[in-house]
């Protein structure tokens, strides 16, 4: 008697597993979907930023141990010098590095997504230069109070964005045209800034020149409060438009078909990006590289289909925190190398306790990053 083997039916092949997960707040009334790897990248970048912050509180001309940092932060007790260095000098600068880096990362992601061009960051298309011009005018004319400099930077960035947008929007906003016009406006504003420096007093010119490099040195709690207040208002609004931004990356026609009001959304996102960039420039100066590279690094590491504002902001915070730590320890490293090698006479005694402006470090990192990108894309015709 022949027996027939009965095999269980194969499970029907379904669609591939979705790599995104819903995130809900307030009992599901506020929800969005997040790429899993994007969330891991953002969380890892924030952890690195926190680690860099802790190291920044410990190292310096007056070393402080981790237990002393904890007592100074949470109890305000211990060695008076340790309390002063931790709470009044190092902590405001480290926090400002995280906040400004987050603002620059989100701003760069907005402009790169709106223009669909990886080079369309605020420091390339002239918005940083416009904010710098507005801030220099305030420094030269009124002496440079913190609130006035911030207002001047935001106003200068908005005026520059208006000019660049009007010149680049003839026949539709194209990424290449936006970058080219932005480069021209940046060159012209650089000449204006140089002229303003030549017509100012020696003290104002020195203050403006140090600020133009991009620095966190000497920044206090007032800058941190201004930056935190701006992020509290602007960052949730930017995230609110994040869904529309992803659909606008598909093109204006398709986004309009999906129900997105493209012109209004582009205008709102542009204003938010300029606001984030302007406040960061007002607080720390026109720091290069962060807004350009943070969104690209976030996309490259997370392997997500598009730019995520949250991951770009987290990577920007981590990058600027790392650059701030490297800048603060640059001359210390040279002194250590001088003691080890013996013939490295590059640091004078009067300069050994100075801090390197963070804008110098980010500019070097930006050059290395661009060189690596060009090397990686050699022979592809896409560089």
What band does 51 get if pLDDT is binned at 50, 70 and 90?
very high
DSSP state of 64: -
* Rounded Cα gap, residues 258 and 246, in angstroms: 11
Average pLDDT of the residues in 243-271 = 72
What band does 175 get if pLDDT is binned at 50, 70 and 90?
low
What is residue 139's predicted lDDT score, i.e. its pLDDT?
A: 79
Compute the radius of gyration of the chain from its Cα atoms.
24
What is residue 11's predicted lDDT score, i.e. its pLDDT?
A: 44
A 10 A CB-CB count for 329 gives 17
What is residue 330's predicted lDDT score, i.e. its pLDDT?
A: 74
* Rounded Cα gap, residues 276 and 371, in angstroms: 27
The percent of residues above 90 in pLDDT, for the chain, comes to: 12
User: What is the rounded average pLDDT for all residues in the chain?
Assistant: 77
Contact 117, 178 (CB under 8 A): yes
What band does 318 get if pLDDT is binned at 50, 70 and 90?
very high
Average pLDDT of the residues in 293-311 = 82
What is residue 14's predicted lDDT score, i.e. its pLDDT?
A: 41
Structure tokens at 4: 């027939």
What is residue 34's predicted lDDT score, i.e. its pLDDT?
A: 60
The beta-carbon contacts of 67-72 under 8 Å, at least 24 apart in sequence, are none
Q: Which of 105, 69, 109, 65 is nearest to 86 (CA)?
A: 69
Write the DSSP string, 284-326. Answer: H----SHHHHHHHHHHHHHT-SS--HHHHHHHHHHHHHHHHHH
Is 80's pLDDT higher than 90?
no
Which of 38-52, 118-132, 307-321 has the weakest average pLDDT? 118-132
What is residue 15's predicted lDDT score, i.e. its pLDDT?
A: 38
pTM: 0.82
* Rounded Cα gap, residues 190 and 184, in angstroms: 10
Write the DSSP string, 150-201. Answer: HHHHHHHHHHHHHHHHHHH-TTS--HHHHHHHHHHHHHHHHHHHHHHHHTS-
* Rounded Cα gap, residues 64 and 79, in angstroms: 10
Is 283's pLDDT higher than 70?
yes
Q: Which of 94, 13, 10 is nearest to 56 (CA)?
A: 94
Residue 179 CB burial class (10 angstroms; 0-12, 13-18, ≥19): buried
* Rounded Cα gap, residues 262 and 249, in angstroms: 11
Is 31 in a helix, a strand, or coil?
strand
* Rounded Cα gap, residues 41 and 299, in angstroms: 9
Is 327's pLDDT higher than 70?
yes
Query: At which residue do the structure tokens 């997504």 appear?
Result: 113
What is residue 228's predicted lDDT score, i.e. its pLDDT?
A: 92
* Rounded Cα gap, residues 126 and 183, in angstroms: 6
* Rounded Cα gap, residues 139 and 148, in angstroms: 8
Report which of residues 80 and 353 the model is more confident about: 80
What is residue 174's predicted lDDT score, i.e. its pLDDT?
A: 61
What band does 31 get if pLDDT is binned at 50, 70 and 90?
low
What is residue 200's predicted lDDT score, i.e. its pLDDT?
A: 78
pLDDT tens, position by position, 90-132: 899 999 999 999 999 999 998 888 877 777 788 788 888 888 8
DSSP state of 381: S
The CA distances from residue 123 to 112, 142, 160, 186, 289, in Å, are 12, 26, 12, 9, 7
Ramachandran class of 261: left when φ > 0, alpha when ψ lies in -120 to 50, beta otherwise: beta
Is 346's pLDDT higher than 70?
no
What is residue 101's predicted lDDT score, i.e. its pLDDT?
A: 93
């Amino acid at each position: 008697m022949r027996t027939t083997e009965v095999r269980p039916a194969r499970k029907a092949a379904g669609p591939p597993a979705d790599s995104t997960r819903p995130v809900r707040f307030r009992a599901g009334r506020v929800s969005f979907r997040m790429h899993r790897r994007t969330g891991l990248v953002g969380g890892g970048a924030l952890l690195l930023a926190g680690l860099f912050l802790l190291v920044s509180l410990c190292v310096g001309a007056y070393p402080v141990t981790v237990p002393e940092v904890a007592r100074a932060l949470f109890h305000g007790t211990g060695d008076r010098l340790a309390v002063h260095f931790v709470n009044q000098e190092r902590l405001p600068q480290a926090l400002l590095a995280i906040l400004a880096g987050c603002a620059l990362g989100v701003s760069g992601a907005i402009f790169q997504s709106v223009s669909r061009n990886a080079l369309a960051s605020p420091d390339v298309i002239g918005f940083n230069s416009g904010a710098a011009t507005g801030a220099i005018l305030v420094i030269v004319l009124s002496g440079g109070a913190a609130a006035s400099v911030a207002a001047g930077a935001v106003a200068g960035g908005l005026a520059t964005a208006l000019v660049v947008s009007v010149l680049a929007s003839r026949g539709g906003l194209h990424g290449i045209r936006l970058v080219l016009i932005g480069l021209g406006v940046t060159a012209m504003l650089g000449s204006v800034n140089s002229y303003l420096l030549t017509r100012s007093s020696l003290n104002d010119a020195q203050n403006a020149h140090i600020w133009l490099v991009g620095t966190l040195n000497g920044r206090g709690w007032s800058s941190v409060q201004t930056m935190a207040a701006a992020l509290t208002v602007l960052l949730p609004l930017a995230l609110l438009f994040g869904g529309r931004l992803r659909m606008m990356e598909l093109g204006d026609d398709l986004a309009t078909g999906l129900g997105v009001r493209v012109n209004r959304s582009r205008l709102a996102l542009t204003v938010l990006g300029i606001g984030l960039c302007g406040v960061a420039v007002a607080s720390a100066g026109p720091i290069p590289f962060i807004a350009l590279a943070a969104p690209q690094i976030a996309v490259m590491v997370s392997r997500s289909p598009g730019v995520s504002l949250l991951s770009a902001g987290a990577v920007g915070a981590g990058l600027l925190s790392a650059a701030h730590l490297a800048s603060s320890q640059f001359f210390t490293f040279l002194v250590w190398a001088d003691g080890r090698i013996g013939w490295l006479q590059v640091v004078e005694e009067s300069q050994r306790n100075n801090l390197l402006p963070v804008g110098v470090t980010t500019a070097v990192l930006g050059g290395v990053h661009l060189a690596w990108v060009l090397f990686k894309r050699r022979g592809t015709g896409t560089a």
